[in-house]
C-alpha cells in the first residue's frame, strides 16, 4: 500500500476535484491519497465524488478551515 499527498491548499473548485481524479487514476487499488484542501466547495465535492466512485473516504479537520480528505482506492 502506497500513500500520496496532494496539496490543493488555496485552490478553488473545480481544480481540487480534477487533480484528485487524475491522481487517483495513477494509484493502485489499496493505495491511499490524502487531499489537503481549504475551500468549502472542494470540501463537499471531493469526498462526495470519491464516495460515489466507490472509494473509502475519511475527513480529518487539521486546522480551522483546513481538511485532509483521505481516500483509499478500492477499485
Contacts of 8 (CB under 8 A, 6+ apart): 15, 16, 19, 20, 35, 36, 37, 39, 42
13 flagged as catalytic:
yes
Catalytic residue among 13, 15, 34, 53: 13
> Would you give the distance in Å from CA 51 to the centre of its chain?
10
Q: Which helix (H) or strand (E) holds 23?
A: helix 15-26
Active site residues: 13
Amino acid at each position: 500500500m502506497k500513500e500520496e499527498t496532494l496539496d490543493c491548499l488555496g485552490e478553488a473548485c473545480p481544480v481540487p476535484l480534477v487533480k484528485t481524479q487524475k491522481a487517483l487514476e495513477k494509484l493502485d487499488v489499496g493505495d491511499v491519497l490524502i487531499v489537503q484542501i481549504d475551500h468549502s466547495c472542494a470540501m463537499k465535492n471531493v469526498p462526495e465524488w470519491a464516495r460515489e466512485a466507490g472509494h473509502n473516504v475519511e475527513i480529518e479537520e487539521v486546522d480551522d478551515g483546513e481538511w485532509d480528505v483521505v481516500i483509499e482506492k478500492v477499485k
